[in-house]
Amino acid sequence: MTSSSISTSDVTGTRAFSWPKGNAAIAAGVTAVLFGILFARPAQLLALAWWEDPNSGHGLLLAPLSLWLAWKAGVSPKAKPQPVLGLIMLVAAVAARYAADLAAELFIMRCSMLLAAGGLVVFTAGVRQLMHWWLPFTLLTLSIPIPEVILNTIALPLQFNASKIGAALLRMRDVPIRLSGNVISMPGQQLFVAEACSGLRSLTALLSLGVLLGALFLRAWPLRVLLIALTIPVAILINGVRIFATGFLVYFVSPEMGQGFMHTSEGMVMFGGAFLITGLITWIMSKGEDFYFSRKTA
């Protein structure tokens, strides 16, 4: 993947960050304190979800990465304060924060924190600066855990699809099986494809990786969207291969191969494979894009 197409982009001509001075520094400090007080609970709950929920663990990486990317991108030369729009966004964020707290709705509460941050950016530097930081804000959005209702709706079809792929691969290796929903029965054993094995964890992490790689190594928006879309079948396919590998080892080696450390290690290896496949797809797209632009400018 070539660095010539890096587009976090629009970095050309940006102004470096400079710390506010005088009254501006006091205003920034007061704003930071008020923001911390108002959104301390959502931030605490979000960090706790990243630490304890395996489906949300990628947030531990995305949050600091987003801050670094925003710092690296700097301030857009077209940045211009839009205090009215910024104030509207801030009022909406505060209202959403308290309404979500009353309704015990964690997703809206966490999103309100992001909306408030966007409101502050618009208030001080305008919508153009917010668009300039589209990548950090997108990654932060992807780090917010999906609501349980949506999560359960997505997980079940993923379980069934992964089970079908795993079962088909096992039949190709002449393993006698019977598939019933997300349960694969074989002589003396049953493999239950649980929610944890649905590929949902891989999918959320791969979507974030697709956004990041597309922004860094691809210039055309259609290719970036295509890359993100391709992470979905990659996650499903890799998880189907993981189920096949588990069933193969359980049938031919030992039932213990489908439990404990071996099962976890299997998942980590397959997850690494999914990352490599996504990187390879990005590299192919980048080379194709470079060839297209070189022919166009020749």
Q: Same domain, yes or no, for 160 and 176? A: yes
Q: Which residues make beta-bridge pairs with 184?
A: 179, 191
Given 79, 113, 145, the domain boundary residue is: 145
Structure tokens at 25: 């520094």
Q: State whether 63 and 110 are in the same domain.
A: yes
Please provide the size of the chain in residues.
298
| Cβ contacts of 22 within 8 Å, gap of 6 or more | none
Same domain (yes/no): 201, 270: yes
* Same domain? 63 vs 178: no
B/e letters for 264-289, b = 16+ CB within 10 Å, e = fewer, are eebbeebbebbbebbeebbeebbeeb
d(CA 193, CA 243): 8
pLDDT, one tens digit per residue, over 189-237 is: 777 776 555 566 677 788 888 999 999 899 888 999 999 999 988 888 8
**Tell me, what amino acid is at 101?**
D
Report d(CA 98, CA 194) in Å as an integer.
36
Q: What is the amino acid identity at position 297?
A: T
- Same-domain pairing of 116 and 43: yes
Asked if 136 and 174 sit in the same domain, the reply is no
pLDDT tens digits for 132-185?
999 999 999 988 888 877 777 777 777 788 888 888 888 888 888 888 877 888
Q: 9 pLDDT exceeds 50?
A: no
User: pTM value?
Assistant: 0.76
- Are 132 and 219 contained in the same domain? no
Question: Which band of pLDDT confidence, cut at 50, 70 and 90, is reported for residue 255?
Answer: low
Q: Which residue has the higher pLDDT, 81 or 251?
A: 81
Which domain-ending residue is among 122, 145, 168? 145
pLDDT, tens digit, 9 for 90 and up, residues 73-102: 888 888 888 889 989 999 999 999 989 888
Question: Do 29 and 65 lie in a common domain?
Answer: yes
Same domain, yes or no, for 134 and 170? no
216/271 same-domain check: yes
What's the alpha-carbon Rg for the chain, to the nearest Å? 23
Q: Are 153 and 136 within one domain?
A: no
Q: What share of the chain is helix, strand, coil (3-state, %, to 5)?
A: 75, 5, 20
Residue of 291, 279, 294 whose CA lies nearest to 1: 279
Q: Are residues 111 and 174 in the same domain?
A: no
How many distinct structural domains can be found in the chain?
A: 2
Domain of 79 in residue numbering reads as: 3-11+20-145
Choosing from 93, 110, 145, the residue where a domain stops is 145
